[in-house]
Amino acid sequence: MITSIFSKSKPINFLVVFTMTIVTFFIAHTKYALSSNLLDHYAENFFVFCASFSSILVLDFLVSKNKLTQKSSYEILLYALFLMALPQTMLNNNIVFANFFILLSLRRILSLRSQLNVKKKLFDAAFWIAIAALFYFWSILFILLIYFALFFHSNSNLKEWMIPIVGVVAVFVLGMSYSIIVYDDFFSALNILPEVSFEFETYNTLQYVIGVTLLISLGIWSSVFYIKTIKSKQKNFKSAYKVVLVAALIAFGIMILSPKKEGGEFLFLFAPLAIIITNYIETIQDKWFKEVFLGLLIFVPFGLLML
């Protein structure tokens, strides 16, 4: 039954995912809210929820536009389930907004396969990544994704390889200008001091152990099949599949480097991982096994949300 609902892209799927996302948002902010007035707290975080759900819509758009799945809606279901498994990802406002801008950038990077308006797309992609870095510094690592995409497309135009740097500098200049106007100095508005932490004690709880194990184990297992199937994809779309895989690796690197291990750092991993696992689900021929697999993916996050 689950497979029949999400095996096709239908409007009701978005309603289901919207309901799951808003339930996760309210439960997460009710459990972890610092404010005693929950109504005010929800109102203050309204745009955080909008960014969270908008991220799902952007994910669906870039998946359908670049044919990264077989026109199913599993990827948006998985994204919502990942939020349920690690609801702390909805608590860090800066990471939520940074992830939204990274997805906007990913949309432009994937569209490079058409080889149309390449310069504009490269600038836009770098611009969105730089904006994301203003919210969360380590988002800047996704700039590497642009260069991997250029490499996958065998682009040897040196001028085009320089454009992402121009996009980052443009945001840096705008940020400094804002800082001068508002704070009367150059850098107060810019969060450009990198911090790193390799302490993972925060993850030593039942919720984190189960949630992270589920994500990483399924991600690695699905990636094996994902890599094998890239060769069978249409030549025009192979680069897009490779970009998604590199995005997952960069997101994992950000998770390792994150200065505060609060759960929010996993958010960058959700979109590429949802695409990779969706591709694995679509390869499963045994309907009974597919139902059990999806059932497990649904049951565990719901259970973790209630812990």
Whether the per-residue pLDDT at 154 is higher than 90: the answer is: no
Mean pLDDT of 244-271: 93
Render pLDDT for 105-142 as a digit per residue (tens, 0 to 9).
999 999 998 888 899 999 999 999 999 999 999 999 99
Residue 11 pLDDT: 80
Q: How far apart are CA 125 and CA 106, in angstroms?
A: 7
Sequence-ordered alpha helix ranges (H) in 7-70: 11-32, 38-44, 46-65
Percent of the chain scoring above 90 in pLDDT: 46
* pLDDT, averaged across the chain: 88
Please state the domain extents for the chain: 2-305
Please check whether residue 6 is in contact with residue 69, taking contact to mean a CB–CB distance below 8 angstroms.
Answer: no
Residue type, 166: V
Whether the per-residue pLDDT at 35 is higher than 60: the answer is: no
Top mean pLDDT of 10-14, 169-173, 266-270 is at 266-270
Residue 184 pLDDT: 75
Render pLDDT for 181-200 as a digit per residue (tens, 0 to 9).
877 777 766 766 778 888 88
Whether the per-residue pLDDT at 34 is higher than 80: the answer is: no
Q: How far apart are CA 124 and CA 104, in angstroms?
A: 9
Residue 260 pLDDT: 85
Confidence of residue 7 (pLDDT cuts 50, 70, 90): confident
Please check whether residue 226 is in contact with residue 240, taking contact to mean a CB–CB distance below 8 angstroms.
Answer: no
Please check whether residue 102 is in contact with residue 127, taking contact to mean a CB–CB distance below 8 angstroms.
Answer: no
- 192, 122, 103: which is closest to 164 by C-alpha? 122
- Least confident among 19-23, 245-249, 302-306: 302-306
Confidence of residue 51 (pLDDT cuts 50, 70, 90): very high
For 232-285, give the DSSP string: TS-HHHHHHHHHHHHHHHHHHHHHHH-SS-SSGGGHHHHHHHHHHHHHHHHH--
Q: What are phi and psi of 49, to 5 degrees?
A: -65, -40
Residue 256 pLDDT: 92
Q: How far apart are CA 175 and CA 158, in angstroms?
A: 27
**pTM confidence score:** 0.93
Q: What are the b/e assignments for 89-113, b being 16+ CB within 10 Å?
A: bbbbbbbbbbbbbbbbbbbbbbbbb
Q: What are the b/e assignments for 271-294, b being 16+ CB within 10 Å?
A: bbbbbbbbbbbbebeeeeebeebb
Confidence of residue 102 (pLDDT cuts 50, 70, 90): very high
Residue 36 pLDDT: 57
Residue 189 pLDDT: 67
Render pLDDT for 204-246 as a digit per residue (tens, 0 to 9).
888 888 988 988 999 999 999 999 888 888 778 889 999 999 9
Residue 194 pLDDT: 76
